[in-house]
Amino acid sequence: MFRRFLDPTSNRFCTFEYSYDDDSVTVTRGTGDTVEETEVFDDPYESHSMPGDALFEILVAQVEPPFEEVLPDDLLEIIEESHEITLTGRLRAFYADHEYKQYQGFIAQQIDCKVNFVADAVIGIFYEEFHDPDADEWRELIPISSVGVGEDYGYEDEQHWLGVDPALPDGPVFHLYTSNGFEVAYPTLDAFLADLTEEPS
């Protein structure tokens, strides 16, 4: 998992990286292209009595304005590596052309949820098989967004996601559930994007 934050006024940045291999959290701070401080929590259980991924979430949540999250330019590579897939067609273009930056944080009106294209399940290690009752088979589908719900859309419900079949590059976009079920939310990726609107102020 990786998060990068930037103060657009001072050009100061801070990054957070969690390593699944050794359960460590690395925090880097600096200005412009210069790294000024690096802190590594290589044994979070000993120093914080919690696993590294939990510490990662706590540290990220402590970042306050004027810092703003900067979406990664290499989201395509991150997703392909994390899920061990190669995307093609329209779905690949969505990431390769950085369209996700244009729609990040928008509201999916039909489902009434806020999208987050860099949620942990999207960019982290995720493996879940979903049962297709019509074909009576299991399918490997991947999440492309978390589902932010609630009065202010501030709660990311980890019981379901929006996802796709990477073998079907134009869609549909599915609603995925932890019960291993899924249903079509939008017939195509473009239909999904057309339903997104900016969050009302």
Model pLDDT, residue 200: 65
3-state secondary structure of 53: helix
User: Where in the chain does DSSP place strands (E)?
Assistant: 2-7, 12-19, 24-31, 34-41, 68-69, 107-108, 113-116, 129-132, 137-140, 142-149, 155-164, 173-177, 182-186, 196-197
Number of residues that make up the chain: 201
Burial of 190 (0-12, 13-18, 19+ CB in 10 A): middle
Fold of 2-69: q64v53_bacfr protein fold (2.20.140)
Q: Could you tell me the two tokens for 65?
A: 């304005």
Q: Which residues of the chain form CATH 2.20.140?
A: 2-69
Model pLDDT, residue 47: 82
Nearest Cα neighbor of 175 from 151, 149, 150 is 149
- Per-10-residue mean pLDDT for the chain, 201 residues long? 90 91 93 95 88 89 92 91 93 96 94 92 82 88 93 85 95 93 96 91 52
- Residue 95, H or E segment: helix 89-96
Gap between the Cα atoms of 86 and 1, Å rounded: 20
Q: Could you tell me the two tokens for 150?
A: 């609630």
pTM: 0.77
